[in-house]
Structure 1
Amino acid sequence: MTTINLFLLFSALASGLVAGLFYSYSCSVNPGLGSLSDSNYLAAMQSINRAILNPVFFFSFMGTLLLLPVSTYLHFGTGSRFYILLAATLLYAIGTFGVTVAGNVPLNEALDKINLTGSSSQELAAHRLRFEVPWNKLNAIRTWASILSFILVLLACLTAPDKS
């Protein structure tokens, strides 16, 4: 197996892991947490947001951001495979990574500063309202972007490079 194919394979693996993570949030974690009381919801999200900052997550999340452009560059001149990977890279960089860094992370950081034990029930409800709806909307965007990016990487894997 050539280096170029290894980069494509690892790009597919990393992007699939990220797509699966955000998909699982959308279809199970967020609905499950949504049924909790305000204080339990906020405490659970604080805990999850702290726990996800680990090497395993960063390997796939940041790894995809590095692997996709490298794989795209290595496929320059291969015709449609290059353009498919370029689309996957842009979709991931903007729709997944960009939305996370510009949207979800600031919300997570603001949530982390909330003193849950010192807040009244009205304050907790207000904190949740400011966090949950925008966070879930942003998560939906990055979920779709990561899934579409992953599909494009898979399509690139199935597309034979053009012979020049």
Structure 2
Amino acid sequence: MESCIIKSPLGFTKIIGDAAGVVSITVLNSEEKPTDIIPLELEDCVIQLNEYFEGKRKQFSVNLNPKGTNFQKRVWKALEQIPFGKTISYLELSKQLGDVKAIRAVANANGKNPIWIIIPCHRVIGSDGSLTGYAGGLHRKKWLLEHESPNKQQSLF
């Protein structure tokens, strides 16, 4: 398993993966030294994440290999279908997965998403439009949704 650390607008980001695909992308809550030489297996992921942050990429084509239960993987696959710049509620996601009563299990699986940004768990919000829970912190979720928004906020100051 290879790993690297890159600097992103939201903090230092650790990427783990191998020839089978990316296993994990996490934002770190501490300063780390960025990796000098990116492992070959992770180069494409790093390039695509940088393009995303530069506003040049809306979809990813990185091979993913997240570890989780079958149910979690099903939820994560559903998350990948949420288009760039769009959001969905936990309730809507539960309905799409065929069981409205599974909303808590869906939210739990969403919170255990090991592949930050590429599996876009940040696009899931509360039914009332609120920015509910986000493992990377609500300030990062807000930034990501604003970054993807087709209607950029203008500052008056």
Q: TM-score range by the shorter chain?
A: under 0.3
Which structure dedicates a bigger proportion of its chain to helix? 1
Structure-1-length-normalised TM-score: 0.25
Higher relative CO (Cα under 8 Å, sequence separation at least 6) belongs to 1
Which structure dedicates a bigger proportion of its chain to strand? 2
Structure-2-length-normalised TM-score: 0.25
Larger Rg: 1
